[in-house]
Structure 1
Amino acid sequence: MTDEGSDDATADEATVLVVDDEEGLADLYAIWLRDRYSVETAYDGEAALDALDEDVDVVLLDRQMPGVSGDDVLETARERGLDCRVAMVTAVEPELDIVDLGFDDYLRKPVDRETLLETVDRLLRRSTYDDAVQEYFAAARKHALLAESNDLNVTDTEEFDELEARLAELRDRLDDVVGGLDDEDYEVLFRQFSAEDGDDE
C-alpha cells in the first residue's frame, strides 16, 4: 500500500482508497485525485483489506484481481461494518450477481479523470444522507445497469423483479428524507421517480 496524500493534508480531508492490480492505473487514479483528497493505493485484494479501516471514506475497487477479488474485498468491508462508500471500477460487464453486492456505484473501464472525480464527490455527498436514500441510490444504479445489459433476458428474471420491488419499497420510505438532498441528487432522484411513473402508465 502506498500513501499518496500530501504532507499538508488537513484532518477533515476525505480519504480515498484506490484498489487495482494494474499498478500503473491505480497510480494514475491517485494522481487525478490527490490534489483534492488524501489518497491511498493498494495493488491487490490483501493489501486493500489491510488498508480498509474507519478512516477510509471512499473505495474505488477493481473487481477482477488475482487472489482476493474485488467482490471479496467488498464483502469483507461490509461484514466489518465499515461505513465507506464503494464504487466498483472495472472492465467486468455487470450481470445479475451485482444485485447482492454492496456497492454504491459501478463504473466500467476505461474511466476518465472527470468521471472519477465526479463519482468520488457524489459518493461523499451521499455519505451524509439517510440510510434509506443511500440504499435507494445503490439499488437504482444496479437497476439501471441491468436494464442496459446486452443480455435481454436479465429483466425477465426473479432477481430483477425482486430488485424492482425493493426499489418501490425504498421509494415509499423516502418522502420524509428527500428534503436533505442537494440539487444534483434531488434531480437524479426525481428523474428516477419520473421514469418509474412513466413505466407504470
Structure 2
Amino acid sequence: MPTYDAAPQLDPPTREEELVFREIYDQWHARIYSLSMYVTRSAFMSEEITQDVFLKLWNQRSSLAQIEHLPAWIRTITINTTINYLRKKAREQLLLKNYLEQAHEQTDDGFQGLRERELAGLLQGIVKDLSPQQQKVWELTRGGGMTLEQAAIEMGITRNTAKEHLARAIKTIRSRMDGHIELMVTAAVGLFL
C-alpha cells in the first residue's frame, strides 16, 4: 500500500528568491493593504487580503524575476484576491443569515413548543399538589377566566377567603417554579420574539 506525505516537499527558496520577495514585500505591502482597506473598510479583512496576496506571490517566487510588468501583475492579484475575499464573505453572511432564519423557524415551531409544553406540565404538577381549595380557586380564576368574586360565589366562600387561597396558591407556585427559571425564561422569550 502506498504511503502519502502530509505535505509535498518544496525546494527551499534560493537566496535570490528571498531577496526579490523581500524587496517586493517592502515596496508593496503598504500599497496592497491600503487598496484592500479602501475597498473593505476593515483592518481585519485588509490584513487577511494582504497576507493572501503575499502568499500567492511567495508561491510564484521562482518566476517573480521574469515578470515584465510586475506592478500590473501585483495590482491584478490584489484586485482579484479582494474580490474573491468579498465574495466569500458575502456567501458566508448569506449562509449564516439563512441558517439563523431556519434556526429561528425551528425554534418557533419545535423547541419553543417543547418548552411551553414542559412549562405547562410543570405548572399542572404543582397545581395538583395544592390544597383542594387553592386548586379550585386557581383553576376557576386562571383556567376558567372567572373573577375572584365569581370564583368565591361558585365555591361558596367569601371573597377574602378566595383571595387568601389564591395568594397561597401563587406563593407555592412561585416558590416551586424558582428552580426552573431557565424553562420559564425560554418560554417567555417565545412570547415576545
TM-score by length of 2: 0.23
TM-score by length of 1: 0.22
Of Structure 1 and Structure 2, the greater helix share is in 2
Of Structure 1 and Structure 2, the greater strand share is in 1
